[in-house]
Structure 1
Amino acid sequence: MLDFDPEAMVMAVQDGVLEHVQLERGVFRGRIVHTAAPASRIDWGSYALSVLARGDLSPEMVTITLGLGGCGDWRAHGQAAANGDMIVFPEGGELLIALPPKAQWLSVQVPRARLEAAGLALGRCLDGSARRMAGVINHGLRQTLVDLAPVLAPPAHSPRFDDAAVAIAHDELLASLFGELARRGSASDTGAALSPGERWRVIRRAEAFLENRADPSVRIDDLCVAACTSLSRLERAFHETFGTSPRRYLMLRRLAAVRRELLRGEPQQSITDIATRWGFFHLGRFSQEYREHFAERPSQTLQTQRAVPASTHLA
């Protein structure tokens, strides 16, 4: 989508019916990338000029809109907003946003059940009206978006990733977003301390769930359901037990899975193939994380293992 085409922009947000009005003079340039997973939809867009977007959103899913960047203020339902803000709309919510020039935005649609499973109480936005939260996009969430951009917003002519990779990218972004919301105190049980017994039960349930999962895709809300707790309490249990967040713990498990495959030294497997299969799509970031964690580059692990004689493998 290069020129301003109102018909093409009606479906800027999946399953929504929106009207766009160009607010400033000039030649409009824009791009929107749509991706869908079994329980989420994501749209990543950028517009060169200021536009007004209004209309009705998905009647089936909660819509979370993030302002990633732009030259100037946003206007959401008549109120000033800024880059880094988030607006949550209930199912069938009405959107009315004026985007600044050079705006970049993200729209995430999830079933209400996923928010409830994570114990996220987002207040009045789930009672019928939109809710704005300022400054949600912090450094960690921005880095997640950079890491997932090859899947969620690939260059126009690059090959698209398969459905499994898209699902992993969706779950990774939602885990990061949900974690930030939980840390902001949006969960209904914020502040309630965990007893040692409850903490142990949460961890054992989570571990039992993970031990039965051989694939790289683990939804953070499924982990909450398995552990019989909310995300805020899951976060607290993991920090108190392992000294890290559930999301980073899941990442470290995937990193360990990559190392196991590299240590097998299968000749037909490349580092890129293995890394992407386990949900690492920004290869530069993956290599840095791997090197910092294991004190060697992925290529060194693979080369060392392939250099071992076959008789040694059998010993």
Structure 2
Amino acid sequence: MSSSPIYQCNVYFGLDIARASDILYGGYFEHRLSSSAQLSLYHQRVTLDDIRLETGNYSFPIIARGCTPSDTICIGFMAHGSDVTRYNTVPIGTDEIQIYPEGTELLYQSSGASRWIIYAVPRAILQQAMRAYSGQDMMLSKENAISLKLPEGSIDSLLRQTNDIFTIAQNNSNSGYREGALNRIQEQLLTSYSKVVCDAMLEFSIEKKSSVSQRHNNLILDSEYFVMSCDDVSTSLINIAQRTGYSLRALELIFRNSVGMSPGKWFLNLRLNGALRDLLMATPMSTVSGIATRWGFQHLSRFSEQYRKTFGEYPSHTLNRSKKREETAFSERELDGQVTP
């Protein structure tokens, strides 16, 4: 039996959402914000031994870059917002589920409010359940994410069961579960998801996403790595174009078609969010100028204005709030005797 809590709920507001990396247990995701207006992230997790059910509800447009857990397959679908959401630059279709192999690099992007569901299960457990249901071995890719088209109404059915599970878990989180009830919930989830995957693979073709989209996603990922690995993270688009072999015009078209913004705006957002995370995690020695320079901003006044326009406050205000929060936490640790004089 897992020693971790059965049910967990986390709520993040405002700029603190940029610190919310543990939205998928065992994975890591970096949130990038484009504004500070009415931001909230409501995250729930149910843990049943090695199997987890997770959901995140965003009230705002979001870019999240990261990777899925290295020890589980993740089966995901959109509870709402599929019409405004992409994974790895590919639009998510209605009545689709996505299956992500262990450790999949993932770019999640939504241009509006959205809610996602992820069912994370070890590969051996899932394939055993699929074999028991279908009577045959049904192998899932260890390398590539795939999309499966489901019959109409299947997503609604999964969503109802998911909501029921979260309600039951939340209501019983304080009193605890009897082992029999826990096992029944676990079996119901495994049966439902293995059935959905088997039926979709047997009756519907796997949605083969465009190889062009995959190349464009790789281009954006490689460009980000290149920018972040340079001593000057404000590396010009000309250098990116020279390295990738694309013209500036081609880069412009690829970014606008794949992520809905120009490459200049994309990398500016990347750098501003990097500075935001550093300011939120500031140490007593941190300075605005030092953080701005680290993220390739050479003109402090221009950086401050760009930051304010994006996040609704000046970087000095974020830094001051972070330092006050750290001072409060330090004082509380002292009172609890956790700090050695």
Q: Structure 1 length as normaliser, TM-score?
A: 0.51
Partner of 1:81: 92
Identical pairs, percent: 18
* 5+ long unaligned stretches in structure 1: 188-315
TM, length-normalised to structure 2: 0.47
Match for residue 54 of structure 1?
A: 65
Distance 1:170 1:101 in 2: 32
TM-superposition CA deviations, 1:84-140 (whole Å, max 9, x none)? 4211111111111113433111111111101221237666x5231111223464343
Partner deviation per Cα, 1:146-189 (whole Å, 9 max, x = no partner): 4323135x38x9846527345432331221121122222449xx
- The equivalent of 2:242 in structure 1 is none
Check conservation: 2:80, 2:115, Cα contact below 8 A: yes
Number of positions where the alignment pairs a residue of Structure 1 with one of Structure 2 = 184
Shift in alpha-carbon separation, 1:35–1:130, aligned structure 2, 3 A: same
Instruction: Tell me the equivalent position of 2:162.
Output: 145
Letter in 1 for 2:164: D
CA distance in 1, matches of 2:138, 2:40: 34
The residue aligned with 1:252 is: none
Pairing of 1:1-315 with structure 2 (within 5 A): 1-4=11-14, 5-6=16-17, 8-23=19-34, 26-70=37-81, 72-82=83-93, 84-117=95-128, 118-119=130-131, 126-135=141-150, 137-152=154-169, 154=170, 159=174, 161-162=176-177, 164=179, 165-186=181-202
Q: 1:24 to 1:67 in 2, by over 3 A?
A: farther
The residue number in structure 2 matching 1:257 is: none
Deviation at 1:41, TM superposition (A): 1.3
Q: 1:167 to 1:104 in 2, by over 3 A?
A: farther
Aligned equivalents of 1:162 and 1:88: distance in 2? Answer: 30
- Is contact 2:67-2:103 (8 Å) kept? yes
Distance 1:16 1:81, change over 3 A: same
Residue 169 to residue 22, structure 1, CA distance change in 2 (3 Å): farther
How big is each residue's C-alpha offset from its partner over 1:249-276, in whole Å with a ceiling of 9 and x where there is no partner? xxxxxxxxxxxxxxxxxxxxxxxxxxxx
Backbone CA RMSD of aligned residues: 2.9
